[in-house]
Amino acid sequence: MGFEVWPEAIELGELFNEHGYELALVGGPVRDLLLNRPSHDLDFCTSARPEEFEPILRKWGHGFWDMGRKFGTLGAMKRREDGSEIGVEVTTYRSDTYDPDSRKPEVNYGDSLEGDLSRRDFTVNAMALRVPQCEFVDPFGGANDLQKKILRTPVDPEQSFDDDPLRMMRAVRFVAQLGFSIEPATAEAITNMVDRISIVSAERVRDELTKLLLSDNPHAGIEALVDSGLADEVLPEIPALQLEMDEHHRHKDVFQHTLMVLDRAIALETGPDGPVPAPDLTLRLAAIMHDIGKPRTRRFEAGGKVSFHHHDYVGAKMTRKRLKALRFDHHVVEDVTDLVALHLRFHGYIDEPWTDAAVRRYVRDAGHLYHRLNRLTRADATTQNKRKSQMFSDAMDDMEARVIELKKREDIDAIRPDLDGQQIMEILGLEPGPEVGRARKHMLDFRLDNGPTDYDAAVAELKRWYAEEA
């Protein structure tokens, strides 16, 4: 089997060999070699202990780091002639044992490459390439599984997932990233053991979910997450979308609709210089969360109709709670929550085009999320009725064109009242307090309704309002 191996891997292998140590390229880089996919960082394992190979790494590269020393891992960077860099991490052969109530391994050094490979998550990641001799090592049939595009554990799957439950999340993530399917016995073990995911930290689950959503095919990953039962544990709002439809099918399958919205939103992401560069975590999270308020708000109305009144606001509260529990960054939590809350806002425009004041309010309320909100709104219009679909698209085009025209005349992205708080207090003779806040809110509403006005007109409006309030 021939490989075009990174020259840095060969060079490092020769250095280890000179000192009498084994070195092998392992895991993702080997898998990517076989798939002809690029790898920007290289992972190795070695017979040497960290204190033995540290001098080799320090001499070979630069930017040495040792954050993983307690796990037997050291790393370095290598600068190439073209100015690019490649990162490497080297880990001593491992033979881990796990505490049943924790996914943190007790590190025991191993004595063989094959033993190290046996403790890896899937056979496609349990292949190695000894360097510098480029000897391919595949004790568990990973290359065959790679060809078949299946995920299988090197050892008994229940033992593997019991040792490290996070591997179950990695399985569904690889479905999305690599387009693989989960081998039946492995899939069955995941379904039987989903409750074990509870010992994994929210941050680790979040990281796997993020990688899934930013992959080439998050649709398949979300389906695998739900089918496996893992979603019931880590993102229960999504399987809850699988509502039983009434016998007349008066509403859509919300789960399938959500997956369609996800696909459509991804298709609306832009190039690197556009307003929503792909892949966009915020937009993709909003797409899968936008309708999670529907199960709680579903009502069967007279005449057989089904309603989901206020599912946008209910869903926004649910979104904030779930994303906070998963330890997403504060700005991600707030942005996704706002998108869910606003995702129905545009729909009134179709029946009756808005005034300029309403357009200004839409842009102001959307703020920096304006382009994402428009894409989420377009993605959510999944009707199969061509006439309705065209009407919706035309209305959105019209609104966006009006925003462009308004922006030529005024800075609607940064609308402020024509009078600030200090001016309001001076004009009305007020001290700081709630009354100033109410006056400022009125002047903001006045600005949104009427566009920019001169100072005298703003003062006259403030005095008129205050006289009525008094």
Question: What's the pLDDT tens digit per position in 143-164?
Answer: 999 999 999 999 999 999 998 9
Pairing of strands 41-46, 85-92: parallel
- Mean pLDDT (the chain) is 88
Of the ranges 33-37, 120-124, 384-388, 413-417, the best mean pLDDT one: 120-124
pLDDT at 409 over 50: yes
Determine the Cα–Cα distance for residues 52 and 306; give it in Å rounded to an integer.
69
> What confidence score (pLDDT) does residue 245 get?
53
Higher pLDDT, 342 or 429: 342
At 56, the amino acid letter reads: I
> What confidence score (pLDDT) does residue 247 get?
47
Cβ contacts of 159 within 8 Å, gap of 6 or more: none
The overall longest dimension of the chain from CA atoms, in Å, is 91
Average pLDDT in the 444-452 region?
A: 75
Higher pLDDT, 297 or 208: 208
Question: pTM for this one?
Answer: 0.83
Neighbours of 132 (CB within 10 A): 16
pLDDT at 250 over 50: no
DSSP 180-230: -EE-HHHHHHHHHHGGGGGGS-HHHHHHHHHHHHTSS-HHHHHHHHHHHTH
Average pLDDT in the 31-44 region?
A: 87
Determine the Cα–Cα distance for residues 347 and 132; give it in Å rounded to an integer.
63
pLDDT at 443 over 80: no
Average pLDDT in the 262-281 region?
A: 95
Question: What's the pLDDT tens digit per position in 45-66?
Answer: 999 999 999 999 999 988 899 8
Average pLDDT in the 62-75 region?
A: 89
Percent of the chain with pLDDT over 90: 60
> What confidence score (pLDDT) does residue 453 get?
79
Q: Is the dihedral of CA 175, 181, 185, 188 positive or negative?
A: positive
pLDDT at 407 over 90: no
Least-confidence region, from 57-71, 282-296, 329-343, 430-444 = 430-444
Cα dihedral 439, 441, 444, 445, rounded to 10, equals: -110
The conformation of residue 244, written as its DSSP 8-state character, comes to: P
pLDDT band at 93 (very low <50, low <70, confident <90, very high): very high
Least-confidence region, from 95-99, 185-189, 414-418 = 95-99
pLDDT at 355 over 50: yes
DSSP 17-44: HHTT--EEEESHHHHHHHHT---SEEEE
Average pLDDT in the 425-445 region?
A: 80
Question: And the tokens for 343?
Answer: 């995702």
pLDDT at 451 over 80: no
Burial of 83: CB neighbours in 10 Å, binned 0-12, 13-18, 19+? exposed
Ordered by where they begin, the domains of the chain are 1-148 (3.30.460.10), 149-235 (1.10.110.30), 264-414 (no CATH), 421-469 (no CATH)
Average pLDDT in the 333-354 region?
A: 90
pLDDT at 406 over 90: no
pLDDT band at 352 (very low <50, low <70, confident <90, very high): confident
- Spatial CA neighbour of 179 closest among 221, 214, 211: 221
Cβ contacts of 436 within 8 Å, gap of 6 or more: 421, 424, 425, 430
Of the ranges 238-252, 396-410, 433-447, the best mean pLDDT one: 396-410
Burial of 155: CB neighbours in 10 Å, binned 0-12, 13-18, 19+? middle
Determine the Cα–Cα distance for residues 128 and 213; give it in Å rounded to an integer.
28
Determine the Cα–Cα distance for residues 13 and 130; give it in Å rounded to an integer.
8
> What confidence score (pLDDT) does residue 100 get?
54
What b/e string do you get for 88-105 counting C-beta neighbours within 10 Å, with b at 16 or more? bbbbbbbebebeeeebeb
Please name every residue paired with 87 in a beta bridge, in sequence order, or none if there are none: 41, 77
Question: What's the pLDDT tens digit per position in 96-152?
Answer: 555 555 555 556 787 899 999 998 999 999 999 999 999 999 999 999 999 999 999
